[in-house]
A and B are shown apart, each in its own frame.
Chain A
Amino acid sequence: MKNPALALLGAAACVVLGLVAPLDDYLIKLLMQAATYAIAVLGLTIVLGYTGQISLAQAAFFGIGAYGVALGSTGLGLSFFAALALGTLLAGLFGVLLGGSTLKLGGHYLAMVTISFQEILTLVLTNWVGLTHGPDGVANIPRPTGLVAAPRYLALCLLVLFATAWAVGALKRRPLGLAMQAVRDNELAASVVGVNTYRVKIIAFALSALLGGLGGGLFAGAFRYISPDQFSFDDSVVLLTMALLGGVEAATGSVIGTALLVLLPEWLRFLRQFYLAVYGLAVILIMVFMPAGIWGFLAGLRPRRVAMPQPGGLVLGRAAGEGALLEVVGLAKHFGGLRAVDGVDLRVLAGEVHALIGPNGSGKTTTLNVLSGLYRPTGGSVRLAGREVAGHAPHLLAAAGLGRTFQNIRLFHSLTAFENVLIGAQAAGGAQAAERAAAALDFVGLADRAGAIAASLPYGHQRMVEIARALAGNPALLLLDEPAAGLNLTEKQALGQLLDRLRGLGVTLLLIEHDMDLVEQVADRITVLNFGKRIADGTPAEVLRHPEVVAAYLGEEAGHEFA
């Protein structure tokens, strides 16, 4: 729906459908219910579909919006739209508070927190009679002047739904939407390529709550009477099911799912008392046979279009200065009694390729995780380009010029190769980000695979996309964790050449690698770790002849790859 004319046409269709179509009252009510629910379900598209965070409290936000309209208009004497704004913002505010306090936990914890919020809200709505009118609910909720007639109000609901669906759909390809999907697909990777994952999650949660409130506010006007039992946990489950049924990763899916589940019980009325049982069965069958939901299933049948700009040459803007780019002193990371990194010193000179080697379990990856901010160091100092950065969050380190890749590749698997790299380039902003991403993808030789879904790429290509993604962030220092692992001989040679070309761009490399041929070929300096401590440091020639190094490797790997 990129075409504005198309958008206008759709909006006009909503109004016409509401005003002109010969609908009886039963259908109008049903359509109002479907439209207002769908707006709330679109909130779930954002929080669950895009960001991958479960929320079982959408009916609570829906209820806050509904009560905002009901109490704002009947009690405070606000106009309908002022009350709607009040309810919507209030829902958003609760979303921020709830999200802000608990989003650091994920998965089942978030499920339980949202359930708790839902249950507590239901109790408050029922029992705080002075504020909410208690279990009696609120009656005679006014509709906005001029929109009192049911068809007109329906037209309003459909119009808002259309606008919301359009906006939510558009969000998916915007930088914020991409960041959300990055968080969903791989939160760690998202953080090291510069996404402030916590902030993105809170925004998603807040937007979702806002839409829940908006839908609820319109719902209050549609039915003109609300009571606490309409916004219970069961209703949250219904909203969630609507999202999943239609396909939670697309706005269209949410609308389809809502329409279907509002209608399904009506269609199944002939089953009488069995219909809710059949509804439950249908939910299971859909999960089993149509995992991406109805729309996901249909959308999966057509190829994805990608709008990638013509790639230009990759220019890294942070030219290497002189001296040490990274200076690590006494770095320590302990897990309980385990000293995974135990007082390591490391000095990486600007413009060099520096290799970090050592037997398995020697603390290399832990060191990298501390340097890139995934772990907080237990002690020691880390200076990047002269600034102390120990303990900084990953996205701040990314902004400070640190990029990294992972040993077990962490791509955003459901996004295209180009989108993966684009997320890494966001710091550049706008059109420049797209140009930088295109250049980075071209640099690793994968411009022609820009539109391929990351998960579908061969292993070697996935490695390259990950490197391109890190490069797109314009790093001064690039940390590569075993880039050659799992590559075949040809790919390894290509990697060696790539590393040389990288050096040509002026980027400094810190490389963990087991493949000693590669290390000898590219490294200017080598640091060797064993049992969390540095045992050697120097040029390849010096280090590889160091007796402790030889002993460590012989003991560990019996000369494997080290002839």
Chain B
Amino acid sequence: MSIALQLLFTGIGIGAVYALVALGFVLIYRATNVVNFAQGQFAMLGAFGMVITTEGLGLPYWLGILLTLAAMALFGALFNLGVYYPLRHRSFLPVVISTIGASILLTNGVLATYGPEPATLPGLTDLPGLNFGGLFLDSQYLAIIAITLVLVVLQYLFFERTLLGKKLQATSQDKEMASLLGIPVAGMIMLTFVYSAVLGGIAGILVAPILFVSVGLGAQIALKAFAASIIGGFGDIPGAIAGGLAIGVIETFGAFYISVPYKDAYAFVLLFAFLLLRPQGLFGEKVSQKA
């Protein structure tokens, strides 16, 4: 039983990371109808930002976080201008390829300039974690779960309770209608990219103390997060969170009870099952084609 609890906790911790990255996917998807294949690299950049500011420049941890997130915001804007904006009137495929190009560029750009050595990054706290009668709760995973929760709540409040949030929602639902209503659509999309980049940065900062900082950080996570957002019903925020958690838990249990080498397959098998049996996702409604 304590093993199952332990696996559950770890699964939720990993799942929260997937969920956090999936959130970035979903936001950009809702605003632009495009899947951003460089979302994982956003996390990688965030982690490197922390290493540069805290280890390289010797700044305090909190200042490092602030500077890194500010840099990520700027990067999100640049990403929009360079990778999405010039292609905004085209079908989804060229944009997807463009983001794939961006992910190659970012990975190898960092590899070439920073170098290939993985770096370490301290966690948010020095505490090793909590021990409940054999059940070990890693402090960093606890932090990830807590921060993901807070971000989801804040995001909900932002979208539902603020004018800016509503404008963003209107933009994601119908760009033409939004622009008729006088909403600056380009600005809203810009804002979405900025926020998604910051979200990616947060995910990177949180996960780096566990997985170390390397250029490969984020790529595999992003693929799982993508699967999570599909399982959740594409574009559905609560669905993406639930999907991320489900994948984290299932692959942890699957690894223990079935096979570790096939661990990465469980997420995709789950995805297959969903697409065949429930393509509308966890909470979504089936949408019909329109003539």
Instruction: Identify the A interface with B (CB < 8 A).
Output: 48, 54, 101-102, 105, 107-109, 111-113, 115-117, 119-120, 123, 126-127, 188, 233, 237, 240-241, 244, 273-277, 279-284, 287-288, 291, 335-336, 365, 368-369, 374-375, 406
Contacts and interface: CB of A to CB of B under 8 A. Distances in A.
16 contacts: A105-B279, A108-B29, A108-B230, A109-B230, A116-B268, A123-B262, A123-B264, A241-B101, A244-B93, A244-B94, A277-B108, A281-B105, A282-B101, A283-B105, A284-B83, A336-B285
B226 interface: yes
B112 A274 contact: yes
A127 B261 contact: yes
B106 interface: yes
A169 B105 CA distance: 33
Contacts of A119: 223, 264-265, 268
Given A105-B279, A108-B35, A273 B98 contact: no
A112 B108 CA distance: 24
A288 B87 contact: yes
A291 B288 contact: no
Contacts of A115: 223, 226, 268
A283 B227 contact: no
Nearest to A275: B108
A88 to B, nearest CB: 24
A116 B288 CA distance: 25
Main secondary structure of the interface of A (DSSP, over half): helix
B100 A241 contact: yes
Given A291-B90, A375-B288, A283 B98 contact: yes
B36 to A, nearest CB: 11
Interface stretch (B68-76, B187-195, B269-277): B269-277
B228 to A, nearest CB: 11
A284 B82 contact: yes
Given A115-B223, A244-B97, 10 more contacts: A108-B92, A111-B35, A113-B271, A273-B108, A274-B108, A277-B104, A277-B109, A287-B87, A336-B285, A368-B291
Contacts of A275: 108
B284 to A, nearest CB: 12
A220 B20 CA distance: 41
Contacts of A112: 226-227, 230, 271, 275
A279 B104 contact: yes
A123 B261 contact: yes
Nearest to B91: A52
B268 A374 contact: no
Given A109-B230, A188-B291, A240-B97, A102 B108 contact: no
Contacts of B111: 273, 276-277
B178 interface: no
> Which 10 residue pairs spanning A and B have beta carbons closest together?
A283-B101, A280-B105, A280-B104, A116-B268, A276-B108, A277-B108, A284-B101, A277-B109, A287-B98, A273-B112
Interface string B40-83: 00000000000000000000000000000000000000000011
B261 A126 contact: yes
Contacts of A276: 104, 107-108, 111-112
B141 interface: no
Residue of A102, A276, A365 with most chain B CB atoms under a 10 A cut-off: A276
B103 interface: yes
A293 to B, nearest CB: 10
Which of A120, A335, A374 has the most CB atoms of chain B within a 10 A radius of its CB?
A120
Contacts of A123: 261-262, 264-265
Contacts, number: 130
Given A115-B223, A288-B86, A365 B291 contact: yes
Interface in B212-255: 223, 226-227, 230, 234
Interface of B: 29, 35, 82-83, 86-87, 90, 92-98, 100-109, 111-112, 223, 226-227, 230, 234, 259, 261-262, 264-265, 268-269, 271-272, 275-276, 279, 285, 288-289, 291
Nearest to A104: B279
A369 B275 contact: no
A284 B105 contact: yes
Nearest to B86: A288
Contact of A283 (B90, B104, B259): B104
B266 to A, nearest CB: 10
A184 B52 CA distance: 47
| Most chain A beta-carbon contacts within 10 A, residue among B97, B269, B279, B288 | B97
A120 B269 contact: yes
B275 A280 contact: no
A171 B87 CA distance: 30
Nearest to A127: B261
Nearest to A365: B291
A101 B275 CA distance: 9
Contact of A284 (B102, B223, B227, B271): B102
Nearest to B103: A280
Nearest to B262: A123
A280 B291 contact: no
Given A113-B271, A233-B223, A280 B102 contact: yes
A336 B285 CA distance: 10
Given A107-B92, A108-B230, A273-B112, A102 B276 contact: yes
Nearest to B261: A127
A233 B92 CA distance: 20
A105 B287 CA distance: 11
Given A108-B230, A116-B268, A281 B261 contact: no
A108 B234 contact: yes
Nearest to B276: A101
A534 to B, nearest CB: 21
B101 A281 contact: yes
Given A54-B93, A280-B108, A113 B272 contact: yes
A446 to B, nearest CB: 24
Nearest to B271: A116
A451 B265 CA distance: 50
A283 B35 contact: no
Contacts of B291: 188, 365, 368-369, 374, 406
B74 to A, nearest CB: 18
Contacts of A105: 275, 279
A560 to B, nearest CB: 22
Contacts of A240: 97, 100
A291 B90 CA distance: 9
Contacts of B101: 241, 280-284, 287
A252 to B, nearest CB: 19
B217 to A, nearest CB: 16
Contacts of B269: 116, 120
Contacts of B82: 284
The winner among B87, B101, B108, B265 for most chain A CB atoms within 10 A is B101
Nearest to B115: A273
